Amino acid sequence: MITRLQKMFRRVPAQAVPEASRQRTTREQSDFSAIYAVGDVHGCFNELRALEQRIVDDAATEPGRKLLVMLGDYIDRGPNSRAVLNHLCAPPPADFERVILCGNHDDSFLRFLGSPEDNRSWLDFGGQQTLYSYGVDARHVLKSGGVEALAEVALDAVPPAHIDLIIGMPIALTVGPLIFVHAGIRPAIAMDEQVDADLMWIREPFLSEGSRLPAIVIHGHSPSTDAVFSKGRIGIDTGAYATGRLTALKIANGKAKVL
């Protein structure tokens, strides 16, 4: 969490940006009657609200507690990253536990705020849209003051609760034979030996080979027209910011289906 002193100076210090592994967490599968996973939101707040309502409606037929897993990349590219993070800071729907995993875009945002010169590439893959959702015109500030000034303006605009949320995001969730991560895993390597960069960024060889573990990996990060059911993995990033289609996966009674 950001300390009172850090808030006073409105700067995310280097030590607030996780360099060691982010948390890898677990849940007991028997604690939930159904599990729902949501793919990359990318600032698409209206689509998130609509899909969450579909999940709540669907879950009304399931008794007991449900688990809602967000697979990362809540910001960038789409129109309303601020509203998405606001929503995720609020409590989950009734009878749900929600786990909010970290994606590469979320991590890059935090790193930009802490060290803008070293992470200015974030601005080129969706960061400008995120800042605009906070009322910050990145191009204007860059022309007048440079990247350090832009980070300062961003820190004035971004609520501390949003920064706290991203700092605290775990990077992986294991539920029985299911592994939830943003991007995927390095095939055939145990979870305790995986590195954060792969869990947030990997494509190949994971997309071709799957997990090569006795587990199914549910992930986003690599967009496709529809959800992908492949060997050892299920991908549910359907490019919401470009297509308007945000996808959820439901797992209950040993079966998986797409909402």
pLDDT above 90 for 83? yes
Which segments within the chain are labelled E, that is strand?
A: 24-27, 34-38, 66-70, 96-100, 172-175, 178-181, 216-219, 228-230, 233-235, 248-252, 255-258
Show the CA angle centred on residue 104, arms to residues 98 and 110, nearest 5°.
Answer: 85
Domains belonging to the chain, first-starting first, are 31-258 (3.60.21.10)
pLDDT at 4 (0 to 100):
32
C-alpha distances in Å from residue 2, one per residue of 11, 14, 113, 193, 222: 10, 12, 13, 29, 32
Give the closest residue to 230 by CA, choosing from 214, 247, 248, 216.
Answer: 216
Q: Which residue would you say has higher pLDDT here, 28 or 18? A: 28
Residue 38: which region, alpha, beta or left (left: phi > 0; alpha: psi -120 to 50)? Answer: beta
- How does residue 21 score in pLDDT terms, banded at 50, 70 and 90? confident
pLDDT at 16 (0 to 100):
52
Residues 46 and 29: their CA atoms lie apart, in Å, by 30
pLDDT one-digit tens code per residue, 151-177: 999 999 999 999 999 999 999 999 999
pLDDT above 80 for 5? no
What's this model's pTM, rounded to 2 decimal places?
A: 0.93
Which two tokens mark 66? 């449900």
Mean pLDDT within 17-45: 91
C-alpha distances in Å from residue 248, one per residue of 58, 63, 166, 195: 11, 19, 21, 26
Report the relative pairing of strands 178-181 and 216-219 from DSSP bridges: parallel
Q: Which amino acid is at 237?
A: D
Residues 149 and 152: their CA atoms lie apart, in Å, by 5
